Amino acid sequence: MKSEFPLIGIFGGTFDPIHYGHLRVAEEVAETASLKEMRFVPAGIPRLRRAPVASLQDRAAMVRVAIRGNSRFILDEREIRRHGVSYSVESLRGIKQELGECVILCFITGADAFMKLAEWHSWRELFGLCHFIIAARPGHSLITNRDALPRELKEECAQRWVSGPDSLKCASSGLIFVAPTTLLDISATIIRARITAGKSIRYLIPDAAIDYIAANHLYSRYTGEG
């Protein structure tokens, strides 16, 4: 049975910095799945990857200026207020508690991030809190080849795939939908490297975020990955 509860998108990421790869996925997923809102949740200290280059405050500020003017997009600063390591499961619990039972949460991830889901803290619990909407990402084959998923994750997901966004209204959590999105081969890594090399990042990220980076001298003294 279909519920009339609104779908809320939760887009977690380091956003170091936010770019058009993120924004286009957010826009297309929100449209395809008729999301009521899309919450961008910049990660505090990620547990599974190297520390972000820009501070939490700067990464949130770049998201704020980048999403300005889109009434469906919201900056959610809960991981910034929380000290220490960021766990998506805690953020989702918090959002669920705040918004109540009358909404359906949908966590948005790129295919690369979803492949590593079984490494996340309390990852199986996530299926009791939200649906997943996955966006294709150049170089990541998940969309055409689910066999590429690690065994444990593949088994957990086996009965959860749905082929259309309408199915997400038929359960409060636990389903997985692969959304059709425009493939954009843009990453924050490439953007940071271009800034450090003194190269243009115009048309890869919104102008307002470029202005913020320039005004705050972000990434320019950064000497690369590793």
List interacting residues with ligand ATP (CB under 6 A): 13-16, 21-22, 25, 109-110, 112-113, 135, 137, 184, 186-189
From the CB of 16, what's the least distance to ligand ATP, in Å? 5
- As a whole number of angstroms, the distance between CA 221 and CA 223 comes to 6
From the CB of 32, what's the least distance to ligand ATP, in Å? 14
- As a whole number of angstroms, the distance between CA 43 and CA 32 comes to 25
60 touches 12 (CB < 8 A): no
Cα dihedral 61, 66, 69, 74 sign? negative
From the CB of 3, what's the least distance to ligand ATP, in Å? 26
Closer CB to ligand ATP, residue 109 or residue 172? 109
Residue 34's nearest CA partner among 59, 13, 7 is 7
Closer CB to ligand ATP, residue 15 or residue 87? 15
Closer CB to ligand ATP, residue 135 or residue 201? 135
- As a whole number of angstroms, the distance between CA 221 and CA 68 comes to 28
From the CB of 50, what's the least distance to ligand ATP, in Å? 9
Residue 24's nearest CA partner among 180, 218, 201, 197 is 180
Residue 206's nearest CA partner among 15, 19, 22 is 19
* Type and span of the H or E element at 34: none
**Amino acid occupying residue 92:** L
82 touches 56 (CB < 8 A): no
Closer CB to ligand ATP, residue 168 or residue 219? 219
- As a whole number of angstroms, the distance between CA 108 and CA 179 comes to 10
Closer CB to ligand ATP, residue 25 or residue 175? 25
From the CB of 174, what's the least distance to ligand ATP, in Å? 19
Closer CB to ligand ATP, residue 102 or residue 183? 183
From the CB of 205, what's the least distance to ligand ATP, in Å? 10
From the CB of 137, what's the least distance to ligand ATP, in Å? 4
- CB-closest chain residue to ligand ATP: 110
**Amino acid occupying residue 220:** S
Closer CB to ligand ATP, residue 42 or residue 165? 42
